Amino acid sequence: KPQLVASNDRFCRFLEEYCPVVTETYYPTIWCWEGRVQTLLRPFITSRPQVQYRNELIKTADGGQISLDWFDNNDSSYYPDASTRPTVLLLPGLTGTSKESYILHMIYQSETLGYRCVVFNNRGIAGEELLTPRTYCAANTEDLEAVIHHVHSLHPSAPFMAAGVSMGGMLLLNYLGKAGRDTPLMAAAIFSAGWNVFESIESLEKPLNWLLFNYYLTTCLQSSISRHRQILEKLCDMDLVMKARTIREFDKQFTSVMFGYRSVDDYYEDASPCLKLKSIGIPVLCLNSVDDVFSPAHAIPVETAKQNANVALVLTSCGGHIGFLEGIWPRKCTYMDRVFKQFVQAVFEHGNKIFSM
């Protein structure tokens, strides 16, 4: 059984009644239960539901642009009126886009419930051009704030919540910690967030983890910015950036420089959601596995979460990073997908029972 951490009895009862999956025993796929194996295999094993997007490019205050991929769900029989159709904003991980299998599965789950989805693609990684020498990071919430305001302004009468995965979850938590109750979002779901960036980076620099994850992700980051090299050279020494062999080296030469931090440590402190957990002002459900090398168990802020009545943590003993595979042949729904579906439905259809907390 997962460990459910929540100080608010009312929130606990709400989850037990309307999101019972968080109290059910999770049985990981027996032949790939180890966390690193789950993490590595999920992208290859899980199916990729077909989703037809409508793309929208929105302008930012600094002259840049953000690519949003909409799944309007205009065939929704539950919510035929688009103006009041519930909307879920989805935030992918570090180098992820709307094409990731975990995002496609969230949209598939939302489609069955009649909801609309919009995917926030970070600057410069979804095929659009960088108009200014700026990309994204886990700490800077300006682009996310602009997207939330834009989506809400288009559908002000529609119930609105968000779900973030990995770095997308960290960004969402950092935004919520800054916004408090001053947000149009009703609630949020967070999956496999790295709570303390220092601990996450240290874990990923262990030899096996560096070989399996760190080096690959570093090359993905380099690849995502290489096509924008000409405009980014105005800010950074791109030769040094392209020589990085770890995420820490990349962040030292690129991310911390781009966003004006004195050092990479200053950036990592600002990017760590554990420091902002106390300030979150809306209901948030966070799913982590304690065998996730991207977010080590000892760095999950259990005691801090107990100090905020709006926060609930669901901790599984297995599942890895965005893994949570279950069943003998885990092609379709994962435990994470089921948590997402039940919590989103609980918020949109029974949320009034927790909003008076």
Residue 124 Ramachandran class (φ > 0 left, ψ -120 to 50 alpha, else beta): left
Note whether 354 and 11 are within 8 A (CB).
yes
Q: How far is CA 19 from CA 7, 23, 94, 236, in A?
A: 17, 8, 28, 46
> Are 334 and 46 within 8 A, CB to CB?
yes
Count of residues in the chain: 357
Q: Which of 143, 292, 295, 337 is catalytic?
A: 292
Mention every residue, 6+ apart, whose C-beta is less than 8 A from residue 201: 247, 248, 268
Pick the catalytic residue: 251, 272, 321, 337? Answer: 321
Q: What angle do CA 226, 229, 235 make, to 5 degrees?
A: 125
Question: Tokens 């262990």 belong to which residue?
Answer: 206
Helix/strand/coil percent split, the chain, to 5: 45, 15, 40
Contacts of 287 (CB under 8 A, 6+ apart): 189, 190, 191, 192, 314, 316, 324, 336, 339
Task: Answer yes or no: 321 catalytic.
Answer: yes
Q: How far apart are CA 53 and CA 78, in angstroms?
A: 20
Which residue out of 101, 110, 166, 224 is catalytically annotated? 166
Tell me the two tokens of residue 310: 């709006």
Q: Are strands 87-91 and 160-165 parallel, antiparallel or unpaired?
A: parallel
DSSP assignment letter at 184: S
State both tokens at 142.
Answer: 């300006």
Exposure string over 218-244, b if 16+ CB within 10 A, otherwise e: beebbebbeebeeebeebbebeebbeb
The one-letter amino acid at 215: Y
Catalytic site positions: 166, 292, 321
